[in-house]
Amino acid sequence: MNGAQDLGGMMGFGPVVQEDNEPLFHAEWERRAFAATLAMGATGSWTLDASRHARETLPPAQYLSSSYYQIWLAGLEKLLTGRGLVSEDEIAAGHALTPPAPIKRKLLAENVATTLARGGPVDRPASAPAKYAVGDRIVAKNMHPETHTRLPRYVRGHPGVIEAVHGVHVFPDTNAHGLGEQPHWLYGVAFKASDLWGAEADPKLTVRVDLWEPYLDPA
């Protein structure tokens, strides 16, 4: 969807300032927000793509005025209330007001390290040959779905070149909305900055984006 999260190529936000020796968390509540998000993801109540969609559908004013983990926390609250796992009253109170709703599974503390180390691979077996090969020229589709997509707005409608074939992976556009994994081929695509932003762009700059096959048309 075209939301506040899709900032590529936007102006007026200033430089990205790197913090020397930046800690993983700047406050204890950030650590807890991260842990709660991972713990609830492990219950199987939603997919990773649904979690991303919950964050990107926050109101733009809220999204742009929030810190990284404030966005994570707001997205988690949206998922919890949307699936009836907690109520708005419970979020306001900061504790449960009714017996807990059932969940599919839970991540025990002693299993956290091994679970995180194992990760959640999203590569899948191929059911059809890849449509594109390294060196092929493509055009990113000009599409503006209201639902979740990983096709950045700033590359839509622009030409690029396939630089890598990453195999077949879960398709976020369907997986975010309970429509199944529907795996597709995933490609590394290189775009010239001048093709994206015109003649005034840095001619030496190349932007590389990983894109699923349904996002692409042959040039």
| 163 band by pLDDT with thresholds 50, 70 and 90 | very high
| 118 band by pLDDT with thresholds 50, 70 and 90 | very high
Q: What is the pLDDT of residue 16?
A: 86
**For 56-85, what is the mean pLDDT?**
97
Percent of the chain with pLDDT over 90: 94
**Between vectors from CA 64 to CA 41 and to CA 20, what angle results, nearest 5°?**
80
Q: What is the pLDDT of residue 62?
A: 97
183 closest CA partner among 124, 120, 131: 124
Could you report the per-residue pLDDT of 3-55, keeping only the tens digit for each?
A: 999 998 888 998 889 999 999 999 999 999 999 999 999 999 999 999 999 99
The CATH architecture one would assign to domain 28-118 is: Orthogonal Bundle (1.10)
* Cα–Cα distance measured from residue 143 to residue 12, given in angstroms and rounded to the nearest whole number: 25
Report the topology of domain 123-218.
Answer: SH3 type barrels. (2.30.30)
| 168 band by pLDDT with thresholds 50, 70 and 90 | very high
| 142 band by pLDDT with thresholds 50, 70 and 90 | very high
* Cα–Cα distance measured from residue 121 to residue 123, given in angstroms and rounded to the nearest whole number: 6
Q: State which H helix or E strand residue 175 sits in.
A: helix 172-175
Could you report the per-residue pLDDT of 195-206, keeping only the tens digit for each?
A: 999 999 999 999
* Cα–Cα distance measured from residue 173 to residue 105, given in angstroms and rounded to the nearest whole number: 25
Q: What is the pLDDT of residue 200?
A: 92
Q: What is the pLDDT of residue 43?
A: 96
Q: Could you tell me the pTM of the whole model?
A: 0.92
Side chain identity at residue 6, one-letter code: D
**For 134-158, what is the mean pLDDT?**
97
Q: Given this chain, do its domains 28-118 and 123-218 carry the same CATH topology?
A: no
Q: What is the pLDDT of residue 9?
A: 85
Could you report the per-residue pLDDT of 7-19, keeping only the tens digit for each?
A: 988 889 988 899 9
Chain-wide mean pLDDT for the chain?
96
The domain ranges of the chain are 28-118, 123-218
Q: Say whether 139 sits in a helix, a strand or coil.
A: strand
Residue 187 pLDDT more than 90?
yes
